[in-house]
Structure 1
Amino acid sequence: MSIDGLTDLWNRLFGAQPDPPPLLVLVTALLALLVVLTRVPWRIGRNAITIAHEGGHALAALLTGRKLRGIRLHSDTSGLTLSAGRPTGPGMVFTLLAGYIAPSLIGLAGAWLLGGNRITLLLWIAVALLLAMLVMIRNVFGIVSIVVTTAVVLGVSYFAPPDVQAAFAYTGVWFLLIGGVRPVGELQRLRRRGGMPESDADQLAWLTRIPGLVWVGVFGAVNLLALLVGAAMLAAPALDGLDLPL
C-alpha cells in the first residue's frame, strides 16, 4: 500500500466524524429500548448480548492466566466458555464476574469512542474483536452467529454512508448499555425459581462464601452505572451542538 493509501486509511480510522444530530441520538436510544422490551426482537438481539457475555468470560480468563479451551454459543441465546486452571482463587472469581458485566462495559467503551465521534474506529474495533473470538468458537451455531455478526458490522463500516454508520453504531452501543441490564433481572427471576443452580452468581457464591444475591446486585449496580455514564457520553456531542439558552 502506498504512503497516500496508508494516510487515507489512518485518517479514515482515527479521524473524527461530525457531531450527530440530537434526533439521531434520541431515536437510536428509543429503538434499542424497544428491542430490549419486546419479546421477538429481544430474542434475536440477545444473541449479541451473549456474544459479549462469553467474550467477557474469555478475556478475563486470558488476563488472569487461565488457558482458554473454547466458547460455545447456543440457539437459545445461552453460551458456555471453558477455561483450564485453578478451580478456585482470584482468577476464577474474575472470570465468572466478567460475564454479566461485559456487555455493559463494552457498551461504555463504545460510548466513549462515540463521544469522541470515532464511529469508524468503533466499527473496525468491533470487527477485530469478533474475528479474535471466532477462532475460539467450538460449535456450528456459534460460528454462524459470529460470521453473520462480523459480516454485518464490516459491511456497514465499509459500504454504508456516514449517516447510516452513525445510526448503526449508536443503536448498537445503546443496545449493549440497555440490554446489559435485562439479563441480570432474568438471572434473578430464574434463581428465585431454582432454574439456574450453577449460574455465575451461584458459582461466585460457592467460591467466595458471599451470597449469590449479592453478586446479582453487583452485576446490576455495575450495569446501571455503565448505562448512566454511557448515556451521558452519548448525549454530550449532540447537546453541545444545540444552542441552548443559559
Structure 2
Amino acid sequence: MDLASFFQEQGVDVFSEVSIDTLSDKDRSFVMQFFPGARFVIVFGKEVPATVYLMLQKEKTRGMLRIAETLNKTAVRLAACMEAEHIPALPVPLYIPIRITDGSVQGVVRLKQVAAAGGLGSLGRSTVLLSPKFGPRLMLSGVVTGQPACKSGKAQTNVQSADGPVCIECGQCISMCPEKALGPAGCDAFRCRIVHAWVPSLLVPAVKWMLGRRMFLKCMAPLAPWIARIATIRCSLCVTKCPLFSGQLVRR
C-alpha cells in the first residue's frame, strides 16, 4: 500500500510508519496490550492552524474537534484499506479507551512518543510533540498493524526534518500554566484547566478508579464523542506561549 498517496488524498500533513522495535519498552508494551499481533504503528498528523488558537473558546473547541474527528475517520479508513489487503490493522481510538499509568491519564497508545520515535518531532517539557514545521500545533492519530503497509517490508515515512526542533528548556509552558499542571514529572491532566472544569479535585481519586475499570470505559465509550462536543477548551497557554508556536526551527 502506498501510504504517501493515501495520506495525500486524505489531506494529512505528516506520517511515519514506526516499527515497535524502535519504541521504549513501556511504549512497546502498551502497543502490544492494545493489539497483541502488533509490529508497526502508522502515526500521522494534521496542523492545527495558529488562527484556531486565537478563536473564542467555543469556536476554538469546534475547530480542534473538526481536525481530530477528520484524523479519526482517516485512521478508520486506513485500517479498513489495510484489512482489505489482508494486513491486520486496528485504529487507535480517538476518545476511549484510555488508561491510568502511574497515576497519569494517557491513551492506549502514546502517539506523541511513537511520533517522536518515528522522526516526526521531539517531546517538549509540556509533553507536547514539537514538529519541525508546525511546532506544538500538530494533532495526531494512528493505526497499529501486524505487517508493514508496503509489501517489500520497508517502512514508509515523509519525515520533514531529521534534527529539529528541540525544546529549548525555557520553561515558558510550565510558568504560564495557570493551574500548575505542568512540572518536572510531566503533565497532571487532572490539574489542567480543561479537565479540572469537569472533574473537581475532590472527585479525582474516584474518577481515576473508574477509569481503571474496563466495564466503565465500555459504558462510557458511546458518550465520549458527545461529551467532547459540549466540552470547552478553556486554556492553551502551554502551546501558544511556546517559542516554537510558529513552527520555526530551534536547535541546540
Q: Which has the larger radius of gyration?
A: 1
Identify the TM-score tier after normalising by the shorter chain.
under 0.3
Structure with greater strand share of residues: 2
